[in-house]
């Protein structure tokens, strides 16, 4: 994995992040997840069935196919 962040900046970022409340950090994480999901959905082929859409979103989100025994 590429690691191109300087230790000084990493320390500064960590200190700023830790100044936020747990609620602010969770809100930020949810917002990032929601944004990523919106990008995935916008890049999805338009002709997929609902079941195919769910599989596509899952695979793009988690990097692996939806388990076959998972009800869609």
Chunked into runs of 10 residues, the chain (72 residues) has average pLDDT values of 88 96 97 97 96 95 92 83
**pLDDT at position 10, please?**
94
63 in the Ramachandran plot: left (φ > 0), alpha (ψ -120 to 50) or beta? left
Q: Where are the domains of the chain?
A: 18-72
Q: Are 20 and 28 in contact (CB under 8 A)?
A: yes
**pLDDT at position 68, please?**
87
**pLDDT at position 2, please?**
75
């Amino acid at each position: 994995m590429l690691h191109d962040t300087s230790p000084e900046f990493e320390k500064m970022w960590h200190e700023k992040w830790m100044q936020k409340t747990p609620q602010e950090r969770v809100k930020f994480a949810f917002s990032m997840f929601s944004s990523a999901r919106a990008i995935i959905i916008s890049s999805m082929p338009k002709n997929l069935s609902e079941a195919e859409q769910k599989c596509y979103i899952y695979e793009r989100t988690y990097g692996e196919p939806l388990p076959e025994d998972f009800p869609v």
